Structure 1
Amino acid sequence: MFVNDTSGFHCGSRAACEVIVAGLLRGGHEVIAERSKSELDLQAMEDSDAVLVNGEGTLHDNSPRAMRILRLLELAQQARKPTAICNASWFRMGNQYDHVLRKLDTFDVRESLSRDLLRQRHGVEAGLYLDASYFHPAIPDPSRQTPARIRMTDLYWPGLRGFARPTGGQLARFEFLKMDELSWQVMLDYVGASGALLTGRHHGVYAACRARVPFVALSGNTPKIEGLVAWAGLGLPVTSEVGELGGLLAGIGRYRRTFEILFEWMDAQPAWVCPF
């Protein structure tokens, strides 16, 4: 059973899910899809031999969806089925399901801040892998798009408690990439034809890294971008202040060598493999 297919969010999430499902199929598994995100799909759990959760950006803030996923894992463990979480971030979660986390066959997160929180607050040791989208077979082809100095995705606005495109000021002048309307291939082509990407999206950062293009990032609803930066151990242009974005973009050339090191480091990371 594959839980939390986030393909409908945007092209980065879709790319990650395609990689995960392809890994399950390569492992010889038949994949049972979760039929509802608003209630427990107990029938699919009962019909499956194992349960794999795509954690992605869902396991934070004790959200109802996060709680349902952990409850489903608890029931699967009670039925003696193998369980695992992959491709996850973990922020601001309570301890009520620590017993479930400790019984997982594997728990893999996408950045070091989540790993450290799980270790310190939950007594759980998680594995570290890049977001699954990084291993999607699409290859950036900048020749398919018109070159641009800067392109951007949407940004997270705390006041709105959501992601949105700037509607005024300097930021609104940049060509906008609407990730929920693009394929991952087209996204990589656009980013590859850019001098830099301005993004508030975790998968925007991954698109830039796949295309080997510098980025400037604004913090999202959880610090998963900062977690990737912390894991890499590099000082990169990531900020929580919208007012700092212009200056970071203007000085992006100072980070040229740092980005080269980042891209080489990411290329050296092992790909996620199916735990079952």
Structure 2
Amino acid sequence: MGDTRAGGHHGSTLVMEAIARELAIRGVDAAVVGPVRSEFDVARLRTIDGVVINGEGALHVRSPKALLISQFARRARDLGIPCFLVNTVMDECDEDVIQGFPALTGVFCREPRSLERAKSYGATAKLCPDVTLAIETPKDIKWHAGEKVIVTDSTLGSVNKLLHAFARRTHAAFLPMRTRPQVPIFSSKKAFMRIVKYEVRHKIGNVLPGNFTADRFGCAVGSADAFLRAIAGGTKFIVSGRFHGACLAMRLGVPFLAVRSITHKVESLLDDAQLSHKLIDLETLKSTTRLDSLFAAATWSDTDQARCRNYVANAQKAVAECFDDVVAQIAVERARA
């Protein structure tokens, strides 16, 4: 549960593909059932062996999905069905949400701050970095250094506009992580409307580029593969306004500077990877008129590259261990039933 592909975002698409892949290679017959819902089909729940919920962006006080996950976990426990929350950030949550965390069989948090928070809420929690760090990439997608500087968008509207203005002012390439929702166009009315809206805005943005409203769609690319190729090919560095922009840069070994996003997830990721000096504040971006003034901060030392490689390698091991653990616990509960 917790399919985020309908949102139209490369990171969310790759997260869902990675979760499905990790389960499939372990012999799990996984049925993706869309977003977390408030309604519970008890009859259907009784036919399954376990539930894996994608916790991406869900567990904080501003997310309506947090209470739905908490409610679902309690219902699954009452039915004797193991329920796991994976790939999650854990920030401050309301008390009625917190009450459901002990009902989860296991919680896998993307970074240490979330892990500490989950444990304080009574969850059985472990650390497992973001699953996009373990994605398989085509062999021909490799970072080779060049002179291109890429600026991504942000999940925060005000930061989005600031990043676009920075890109325009410094003649960097603006590359949003939004994309065409990766779901069938007729899968739902909402999917149909989102896809049509994206396609129309994308075409208009291509014809009339230059302002933020146009470029946030017109500069977007239609697939995760195209996005990965764009950030890997001839890039000097990336300024990422999104958590998954930083993750994908790390996966490919591309130098980057990161901007804070909603919750603590970006700074905690960088702390965990010993790359906290790659966090750039908004005031610096506002005052920057020439890209060469950022070259010193953006250039990665041999130590930076080694820390990045080690973090990605350890993340890939942790992701494998996470899904080994999930599948093993589901198998144990199935044998008991």
Same fold (TM over 0.5): yes
Q: How many angstroms does 1:170 deviate by?
A: 5.2
What code does the residue aligned with 1:14 have?
T
Conserved? CA contact 1:95–1:122, under 8 Å: no
CA shift for structure 1 position 79: 0.5
Count how many residue pairs are aligned between Structure 1 and Structure 2.
Answer: 270
**Structure 2 matches for 1:229-244, cutoff 5 A?**
229-239=270-280, 241-244=281-284
In the alignment, the residues of structure 1 paired with residue 268 and residue 155 of structure 2 have an alpha-carbon distance, to the nearest angstrom, of 17
Q: Distance in 1 between matches of 2:158 and 2:166?
A: 20
Partner of 1:176: 174
The match for 1:102 is: 102
> Is the 1:15–1:136 contact (alpha carbons within 8 Å) kept by the matching residues of 2?
yes
1:199 aligns with 2:213: no
Distance 1:214 1:146 in 2: 9
1:223 is aligned to 2:259: no
Q: 1:125 to 1:229 in 2, by over 3 A?
A: farther
Q: CA deviation at 1:38?
A: 5.1
**TM-score, length-scaled by structure 2:** 0.71
Q: Does structure 2 retain, via aligned residues, the 8 Å contact 1:109–1:129? A: yes
Shift of residue 168 of structure 1?
3.1
Deviations 1:185-214 (A, max 9, x none): 222221112110111111100111112111
User: Judging changes above 3 Å, is the alpha-carbon distance between structure 1 residues 19 and 169 closer, same or farther for their aligned structure 2 residues?
Assistant: closer
3-state SS of paired residue (1:236): helix
* Corresponding residue of 1:259: 304
Deviates more, 1:147-156 or 1:14-23: 147-156
Indicate which of 286, 295, 298 corresponds to 1:250.
295
Contact 2:270 2:278 in 1 (8 A): no
Q: Please state which structure has a larger fraction of its residues in helix.
A: 2
Match of 1:188 among 223, 228, 240: 228
Alpha-carbon separation, structure 2, partners of 1:227 and 1:144: 25
Cα distance in structure 2, aligned partners of 1:145 and 1:267: 18
Are the counterparts in 1 of residues 50 and 82 from structure 2 also a CA contact under 8 Å? yes
Q: Quote the residue 2:193 is aligned against.
A: none
Cα 1:56–1:39 shift into 2, 3 Å:
same
Q: Following TM superposition, by how much is the alpha carbon of 1:57 offset from its aligned partner in structure 2, in angstroms? A: 1.1
Farther off after superposition, 45-54 or 200-209: 45-54
- For 2:93 and 2:282, the matched residues in 1 are separated by 27
RMSD: 2.8
* CA deviation string 1:48-94 (max 9, x = no partner): 22111111111111522211121111101110101111111111213
Partners of 2:245 and 2:50 in 1: how far apart? 31
Paired position in structure 1 for 2:187: none
Residue identity (%): 23
Contact between 1:84 and 1:105, CA under 8 Å: does it hold in 2?
A: yes
Is the 8 Å Cα contact of residues 139 and 188 (structure 1) preserved in structure 2? no
Counterpart-to-counterpart distance in 1, 2:159 and 2:48: 35
Return the TM-score normalized by structure 1: 0.85
**What is the CA distance between 1:166 and its match in structure 2?**
4.0
Q: 1:74 to 1:161 in 2, by over 3 A?
A: farther
How far the C-alpha of 1:100 sits from its partner, in A, is 3.2
Distance 1:33 1:221, change over 3 A: same
CA distance in 1, matches of 2:142, 2:296: 26
CA offset at residue 232 of structure 1?
Answer: 2.1
Bigger Rg over Cα: 2
The CA distance in 1 between the partners of 2:132 and 2:239, in whole Å, is 19
Residue by residue, what CA displacement relative to the aligned partner does 1:223-263 show, whole Å, maximum 9, x if unpaired? 11111112223433213x32223487332355423421322
Distance (whole Å) between structure 2 residues aligned to residue 152 and residue 140 of structure 1: 25
| Structure 1 unmatched ranges of 5 or more | none
Q: Secondary structure at the match of 1:12?
A: helix
